[in-house]
Amino acid sequence: MKPYYKDDYCTIYHGDSRAILSSLSESGFDLIFTDPPYSSGGMTRSDRNQSTTAKYRMTKSAKVDPDFSGDNRDQRSFEKWCSLWMSQTMLTARASSTLACFIDWRNLACVIDAVQVAGWVYRGIVPWDKTTSTRPVKGWFRNQAEYIVTATAGPIDRDHNSKGVCSPGVLVHRVNGSKKQHLTEKPIPLLAEFIQTRDDWKHILDPFMGSGTSLRAAKNLNRKAVGIELSEKYCEIAANRLSQEVLAL
């Protein structure tokens, strides 16, 4: 299987994650850290068929990011789909590895169920406080948080002798919209803070790489990472991002 991009730290594969994951079995990944299409917010068939630009670009911005696919499933289909690819990632992982998956409040329960159906041991959620929201609602509460669902492949060392840091239970990072290269891109410092929690997360897999922020964060920390992305345009963006010199965090 020929990589789309490869350097000393990072490798990108262009294609469907479920097809490529089968070729990565027994790779011994320490951390599967990913941000799949959420498929959230579509109440009707017409809602689910709208473009991701129309769905996620709430303001009249001149900035244009490429659309991405796979964001139009209903909740039942989304949960089944997640359980399928999550079970495949289990085959790529070493014993005691970790799965961490971004999601919002609407499909949080689906992802919590899916990780367990796939055979992972559910370990809880890490809220991400974005500090602001693009959808304020007067007389109610801002939707300014998203979540990282965590799970492990069996038991994991988490006692006082563990190598790593005691990370905060809530991660606080603001999104800088002007620097985003993907409609739902997460901040690199957020990903880096999460990755630094454990010293043994040295080999990372992201099956829904998008614009390559997880790989960029891993490379900045001198850790190896493999990313898979269906959109060739986003593979190109990620490759350009990774070809730059290592950035200071």
Q: What topology does CATH give the domain 5-242?
A: Rossmann fold (3.40.50)
Helices (H) and strands (E) in the chain, counts: 8, 9
How far apart, in whole angstroms, are the C-alpha atoms of residue 215 and residue 43?
A: 33
The CB density around residue 1, as the number of other CB atoms within 10 Å, is 8
Q: Which pTM does this prediction carry?
A: 0.85
How far apart, in whole angstroms, are the C-alpha atoms of residue 18 and residue 25?
A: 11
Parse the chain into domains and list their residue ranges: 5-242
Q: What is the pLDDT along the chain (249 residues), one digit of tens a residue?
A: 899 999 999 999 999 999 999 999 988 999 999 999 998 765 455 555 554 444 445 555 555 555 545 667 888 999 999 999 999 999 999 999 999 999 999 999 999 999 999 999 999 999 999 988 767 778 988 889 999 999 999 998 887 777 888 999 999 998 876 677 657 689 999 999 999 999 999 999 999 999 999 999 999 999 999 999 999 999 999 999 999 876 555
